[in-house]
Structure 1
């Protein structure tokens, strides 16, 4: 059996379906659709040098990788590479070949360091460490049973606070871009990010097919966005949180919790059955908030880094 690695062809349905199938099998706690995969490939900023790779064996897709440059980082030379192999097709050299092609792509575009998320399991961690990667921070995936669980009751809003949806900003989403940029800058990460390109944010985030404008909920203080939770859905049964955060001047008031609780209630009413989210393991306050909602940890991943020479 020969394994080959090639680029995903967005115009070929079997490529996209194979990519989604492998990713869902490897990461059942993340939300992917065919539309979201194509959008990520075709709408990501050109400076990211973004590629989605497929590993194919005898005509069957058995592995995937996402690789690119962190073009919005103030520190140049930062790359990312996330490799996932079909759990039913392990130990065929698939991951090694995907990693090699991804690393060569990054090195060819000037990356000096590559970061990868690796599931916290012995085989996966061993694979990364044998390739010279070293572990750093970690993050949890969390799941909430929306269909059968019990959400906290909706709370009264404090004076001067109102809740709106992202759909209310359809004519001018720039205030949400400003809030998202501030929150993202403070998110725990191995790579700092600076959102300065409004048009790129519109293309990559605002127009993303998973983003549900009706469930994305914004807390306004005196008429200005102060906190939000970005809701992404597969349009069927699965809901995930893209980002939840509060502007620095309004932190400590529970505004993000108000927004997320409202979004979750609306998602359940709309028929969504599962909710997923992710948190850095060191982000105690957000983990406590999600525990209050009823989320439970379902998996952990570790960020690994390797210097490219």
Structure 2
């Protein structure tokens, strides 16, 4: 048996999607997105997509890079997934070791990794010096079941639009995304201050469905949004839901998400997925109201490079 780790190539996209769907089926991704993400990564991220082969068959992948949007230098990520049928054969270990070597050369001091909350996965991380931090939930909603609650009434003074309505000038959505992302619970904070980079990596992302991304506008200014990503076939994923601090407590998160989900169901999508920090109780309550059910938990782990 020969285990090999190498750089991703565009012709690996289908096999990479197969690995992800088997290892972590709650993610919504496509071949196009994977190829696009590699081609459009910001150079500051030192991004690499590594794949592992066993006897010529692609069985795992690692997404690796620097958290260049963080205000704290040296933070990095390495998220490793191996097909369940091929675990315990060395592919995950070699992927992680190769990732850490690359990140150390790129100037990383701390490597964060999402790990499924299962005994084998956590033991794999802990044996390699990773320590558990915060956890997050994956949730699933069956849009085909026709149990989605009706949308709340739109409050006076609030107008609902879609991201498509901002195609001529998306900068107001950038400002909203930047303000709400700064408040998002995370071990690695993000400061969105590069509009051109946001246009490429967020606005231009092929998975973003601008017609299903709903924005609440108050007094002419975007105040809340939910970003919708889809596989353009049957699956919907909430990329981010955010509300400006001054407008919280008015039900705007539930409002925009409700209208987005109803649009998704009307468009023929049958499954909706989302993720929440385990301590984000308000958003977990909103998703429970929609009927989302927890389907898995991930725990973010961290390792300080240079410390054994």
1:297 corresponds to:
294
Q: What does 1:1-309 align with in structure 2 at a 5 Å threshold?
A: 1-10=1-10, 13=11, 15-309=12-306
| Shift in Å, 1:248 | 1.1
Query: 1:68: Cα distance to partner?
Result: 0.2
Equivalents in 2 of 1:236, 1:16: separation in Å? 17
Return the alpha-carbon distance in structure 1 between the equivalents of residues 184 and 152 of structure 2.
26
* Post-superposition offset of 1:141: 0.1
The question of whether the paired residues in 2 share the 8 Å contact of 1:141 and 1:276 is answered with yes
Asked if the contact 1:53–1:98 (Cα under 8 Å) also holds between the matched residues in 2, the reply is yes
Unpaired runs of 5+ residues, structure 1, are none
> 1:236 is paired with a residue of what secondary structure?
coil
* CA displacement at 1:20 relative to structure 2: 1.0
What value does the CA root-mean-square deviation take over the aligned residues? 0.7
Following the alignment from structure 1 to structure 2, what is the Cα–Cα distance between the partners of residues 159 and 281? 32
1:59-108 deviation line (CA, Å, top 9, x unaligned): 10011000000011110000100000001111101110000000000000
What do the CA deviations read for 1:128-184 (whole angstroms, capped 9, x no partner)? Answer: 000000000000000000001411112221111010000000000000000000111
Aligned length: 306
Cα deviation per residue 1:104-137 (whole Å; 9 max; x = unaligned)? 0000011010000000000000000000000000
Structure 1 residues 203 and 307: alpha-carbon distance in aligned structure 2, compared to 1, 3 A threshold: same
Q: 2:60 and 2:156 mapped to 1: Cα distance?
A: 52
1:257-278, Cα deviation, whole Å (9 max, x unpaired): 1000000001000000000000
Instruction: Write the distance in 2 (CA, Å) between the matches of 1:79 and 1:144.
Output: 31
SS of the residue 1:262 aligns to: helix
Distance in 1 between residues matched to 2:86 and 2:152, nearest whole Å: 48
Say which SS state the counterpart of residue 176 (structure 1) adopts.
helix
1:149 and 1:294 in contact (8 A); partners too: no
Whole-Å Cα distance in 2 between the matches of residues 93 and 158 of structure 1? 56
Once residues 157 and 202 of structure 1 are traced to their aligned partners in structure 2, the CA distance between those partners, rounded to angstroms, is: 29
Q: Which moved more, 1:151-160 or 1:237-246?
A: 151-160
SS in 2 for 1:144: strand
- Structure 1 segments of 4 or more deviating over 6 A? none
